[in-house]
Amino acid sequence: MRGSSAAGWIAASLLPLSAAAVPAMAPAERDLVGIFQGQSDVGSVTPPGTAAYDSHMDVYALTSAGANTWYHIDGFHYLWKKASGDWTLTADVAFPPAAYSHPPNPHRKGILMFRQTLDAGAAYAALSVHGSGMPALQYRRERGANTEDIELNIELPKTIRIEKRGDIFTVFLSAGGEPLHQIGASTRLHLKSPFYVGLGALSHDVDTTDNVRFSHVTLQRPAAAGNTRPILYSTLQTIQIEDQYRRATVIRSVPGVLQSVHWRPEGKSLYVHEDGQLEQIDYLDPPAGAPPQPIAVGKLVDCSGNYGISPDGRWLAVSCAEAPRGEHQVYVLPAGGGDAARMLTHGAQSGYFHAWSPDSRIVAFTRGSASKADIFTIPASGGEESRLTRDTVNDGPDFSPDGQFIYFDSSRSGSTQIWRMRPDGSQPEQITDDAGQNSSPHISPDGKNLAFLSQPGNAGSRVGDAALKIMAFGDGLIRTLTYFQGDRGSFAMYSWGDINHLAFVSYQMLQ
C-alpha cells in the first residue's frame, strides 16, 4: 500500500478575546464560564439559551431550544473560547430526564464544535451526539454551504473527543471506559485563525428547551508525535449523493489496508480487499457493517484489489496468480468464492479485471505496466480477446448500464481524464478536461450520473488529497461529493449500491 505522511500540527497560543471581533453581548455573557470565555445563541433560539458551570461537580449545563445544525444555517446555543492552532476537545455527554411532557426529539444534540465565526451559516466541524445516542462528525466546508456528516451507528459513547491537527478533524470515542480510539470519522476543513472552540446544545424543536450536560471537559493541545511510526487507518464509508442530505456512514474502520470496495448487485452486502484478503461485509439496517467474512479463492495467491461480481449475481472475477510473484491473470469463480477457479485470460503480461458487461457475458480488463497499459475484453465463457486501445495508459474500464459505452480513464490527452468509447473500441470521446487527475469512472444504475475519483494534477501513487465527483448527464455539470485522503484504491471497483448511494475508502495516518 502506498503510505502517506501524518498531518503536521501547529504550535500556537490562545488569543485574547477581542471586543471588536465578537458580536455585542449582554454583560453576563462576557463572564468566564469554566474554561470558556463567552456564550452566544447562534441563529434563532427562543427563549435565549444558557450555559452554567458547576465547579464542585465539574459539569457544564447548557439549555437551548434551536432547530438544528444542518443545511446552510444553524440554531443552537454555544459556549465558546477563541483560539488558534491545534486542539483536542474532550467530554462526557449526557441528556438529563426531560422537564416537559412530550417525548424528546431523537435528534436533539450535545455538541463539541470548532467554528469559524458566530454567524448562523459559518463553516464548522463538530462532533454531535444525538439524543438517540448516535454520534456523528458534522461539518460545513464554507459559509452558507449545506452541512455534511459522517454517522456512526453505535450506542451513546461514554467519552467523546474531536481533535484538530492542521486542517484535519478526527473523532475519537470510548464506548465504555476503554482508551479513546479513532472510529473512522475524519474530514479535511480549513478554519482561519482565530476561530471558536466549545460546547453546544439544541433541542431540535424550536418550541422546546432541552438540557445537555457535559462533564470531564478538557481543552488541550494534541499530544506531540512520539518516536513511534504513524499507523495507517482505513475506513470504508457509504455516502448519499443528494446535496440536501450529504450523509456518510462508517461501515468498517481498521488499522491496515482496505481498498477496492465493491457493492454487490443486490445491494445487501459489500466486498472489500483487506490486507490481501477478499472479504464480504453484510450491509445492516440501520446502516452499519457486520463482521467481515473471507472469500475463498482456492489455491490462487497474491490476489489484487481488481475483482467484481457479475450483474446477474452468479460469478466472481478476480485478478490473482498461481504462484507467489507470478503473472496475474483473470479468474472466474462462483460469486461466493470457492476452490474451482477457471482461468479466463492467458497473456504473457499480467491482466487485471475491471468490469462485467450488463448482461454478464463480457469481461473488461487491462494489461500492461504503469507507463503503458491497454484495455481488452473477453467473453466470460472464454474465447478470443479483443484489444480496444493501443496508446499511452488506459485503465479503469466500466460499462454503462445500457451496454452502449465503456467509460475509462486515459492519459492520451496529456493528463489522466475520463473518456468513453463503444464496446468495440471505436468512437473514443473525452468526457472530463480539467487540471486534476480523473480516474475510475462508474455510472449509476439508472444511467443518469457518472461518479469518478479526482486527485490533484501532481498526485502520485501515494495517499493524498482526493475527492469523489459526480457528473450529471442531464446538464453536464460536475460537483464534488466529498473530499478525503485517498488514492486510486479508494474508488477502484463498481461502488454504486443504488441510484443514491456510493461506497469508498478513505485513509488517515495516526500516532
User: Does residue 428 sit within a domain?
Assistant: yes
Q: How far is CA 398 from CA 94, 154, 196, 358, 491, in A?
A: 48, 35, 46, 10, 12
**Residue 140 predicted with pLDDT over 70:** yes
Sign of CA dihedral 272, 275, 278, 281: negative
pLDDT (0 to 100) of residue 31: 52
Examine the domain organization and report whether 216 and 236 are in the same domain.
no
Chosen domain end from 191, 220, 249: 220
Residues 407-454 have pLDDT tens digits of: 999 999 999 999 999 999 999 999 999 999 999 999 999 999 999 999
Whole-number Å distance between alpha carbons of 418 and 395 = 10
User: Does residue 7 sit within a domain?
Assistant: no
Strands 293-294 and 288-289, by their bridges, are unpaired
| CATH code of 125's domain | 2.60.120.200
The SS3 call for residue 30 is: helix
User: Does residue 102 sit within a domain?
Assistant: yes
Residues 57-107 have pLDDT tens digits of: 999 999 999 999 999 999 999 999 999 999 999 999 999 999 999 999 999
User: Does residue 414 sit within a domain?
Assistant: yes
Examine the domain organization and report whether 201 and 256 are in the same domain.
no
CB 364 within 8 A of CB 375: yes
**Residue 9 predicted with pLDDT over 50:** no
- Where in the sequence is the domain holding 55, given as residue range(s)? 19-220
Examine the domain organization and report whether 165 and 30 are in the same domain.
yes
Residues 122-134 have pLDDT tens digits of: 999 999 999 999 9
Nearest to 110 by CA among 49, 167, 164: 49
CB atoms under 10 Å from CB of 268, counted, come to 12
pLDDT (0 to 100) of residue 226: 67
Strands 246-255 and 148-151, by their bridges, are parallel
Q: pLDDT higher for 306 or 510? A: 306
Q: How far is CA 93 from CA 199, 244, 323, in A?
A: 10, 28, 54
State the pLDDT confidence band at 139, using cuts at 50, 70 and 90.
Answer: very high
Chosen domain end from 190, 220, 250: 220
pLDDT (0 to 100) of residue 457: 85
Q: How far is CA 230 from CA 7, 469, 510, in A?
A: 10, 29, 5
Nearest to 329 by CA among 313, 339, 318, 338: 318
Instruction: Give the residue-averaged pLDDT of 314-324.
Output: 96
User: Does residue 235 sit within a domain?
Assistant: yes
pLDDT (0 to 100) of residue 224: 79
| CATH code of 487's domain | 2.120.10.30
**Residues with Cβ < 8 Å from 204, sequence gap 6 or more?**
66, 67, 68, 105, 107, 108, 109, 131
CB atoms under 10 Å from CB of 37, counted, come to 22
Instruction: Give the residue-averaged pLDDT of 156-182.
Output: 94
User: Does residue 239 sit within a domain?
Assistant: yes
The SS3 call for residue 21 is: helix
pLDDT (0 to 100) of residue 286: 78
Chosen domain end from 167, 185, 220: 220
User: Does residue 131 sit within a domain?
Assistant: yes
Residues 330-359 have pLDDT tens digits of: 999 999 999 999 999 999 999 999 999 999
Give the bridge partners for 127, in sequence order: 112, 137
Instruction: Give the residue-averaged pLDDT of 475-498.
Output: 95
CB 111 within 8 A of CB 203: no
**Which three cell numbers mark 96?**
438529563
Give the bridge partners for 502, in sequence order: 239, 496
Which residue's entry shows cell 507467489? 324
pLDDT (0 to 100) of residue 246: 79
Residues 399-410 have pLDDT tens digits of: 999 999 999 999
Examine the domain organization and report whether 321 and 175 are in the same domain.
no
Examine the domain organization and report whether 400 and 499 are in the same domain.
yes
State the pLDDT confidence band at 165, using cuts at 50, 70 and 90.
Answer: very high
Examine the domain organization and report whether 295 and 207 are in the same domain.
no
Number of domains in the chain: 2
pLDDT (0 to 100) of residue 24: 35
Nearest to 157 by CA among 124, 113, 110, 115: 110
- pTM for the whole thing? 0.87
pLDDT (0 to 100) of residue 235: 96
pLDDT (0 to 100) of residue 282: 94
Give me the chain's average pLDDT, please.
Answer: 91
Examine the domain organization and report whether 196 and 263 are in the same domain.
no
Examine the domain organization and report whether 268 and 179 are in the same domain.
no
Whole-number Å distance between alpha carbons of 278 and 294 = 6
**Residues with Cβ < 8 Å from 216, sequence gap 6 or more?**
58, 90, 91, 92, 159
Phi, psi of 227 (to 5 degrees): -85, -10
Examine the domain organization and report whether 271 and 203 are in the same domain.
no
CB 366 within 8 A of CB 374: yes
User: Does residue 241 sit within a domain?
Assistant: yes
Examine the domain organization and report whether 124 and 269 are in the same domain.
no
* DSSP symbol at 488: G
**Residue 19 predicted with pLDDT over 70:** no
Examine the domain organization and report whether 197 and 256 are in the same domain.
no
Examine the domain organization and report whether 313 and 175 are in the same domain.
no
pLDDT (0 to 100) of residue 4: 34
- Least confident piece of the model among 239-243, 291-295, 385-389, 408-412: 239-243
Residues 182-199 have pLDDT tens digits of: 999 999 999 999 999 999
For the chain, give the percent of residues with pLDDT over 70.
Answer: 93
Whole-number Å distance between alpha carbons of 240 and 470 = 12
